[in-house]
Amino acid sequence: LPDSANAKLYKDKWILAAEAVRGNLTSRSGLSKGSRQSHLYMGKWSGPWYINEMSYEACFAAGNLLLGGRHFQRDDLVVLGQAILEGCRHVHHASPTGLGPEAFSWSPAPGQRSGTFDVKSDRQRAELEKYGYWVADPQYRLRPEYFESLFYAFRTTGQNRYRDWAWEAFTALEEHCRTEHGYAGVQDVTAEDVAQIDFTDSFWAAESLKYLYLIFDDVKAVTLDDWIFTTAGHLVRRGR
């Protein structure tokens, strides 16, 4: 809260972390025959090695940057969040099922920092050529991070394309994840014959469905001026 004793300290630390994400973790993918557009992804460091692999969970960073960037009037960080979210959307949209994998890798474009991982199999080589990335873990676990960031993107920018992206993902869920009594993840998002995982994590109902619902609900419902979402998607009313 702006009037709290530690407001400036937390603001400065958040901005420092956000700028470090941009300067140290992100890289753009190189072009491929099937993907003629470069996308921004977020890797990580392990000692001196830049790990050019992004997990599905890391898509939450886009929403964090969008919300914080808008709150602190840092348009450059809003743009960074939008770019990372566009990369997450590409991974969904390019997938044969319309679902994003648990983890994926990319080849950084010329002039970007060199990545540690490179393609090792014919399958990875074919995926890189077709999609501009290759799958490191092909599972889809009904995770909420992409939907969470789409929610923040729509609420902070008002751009309807984020609702469109959410609907794309939801229709893919309906087609591939719905079961007789609920929803299940899938074993391989690139497979033509989709096999489901006989398990549903609790975050599917607690977070994924909540964010999907709120993306299409009236924007006056659960406004970001009045409510704070915890990491697990719980609602906490803001103090005055």
Catalytic residues: 102
Both structure tokens of 172: 């893919």
Q: How far apart are CA 35 and CA 73, in angstroms?
A: 33
Which three-class secondary structure string do you get for 131-183? HCCEEEECCECCCCHHHHHHHHHHHHHCCCHHHHHHHHHHHHHHHHCECCCCE
Give the tokens for residue 43: 């890797």
CA proximity to 176, closest of 186, 167, 166, 162:
186
C-alpha 212: how far from chain center: 14
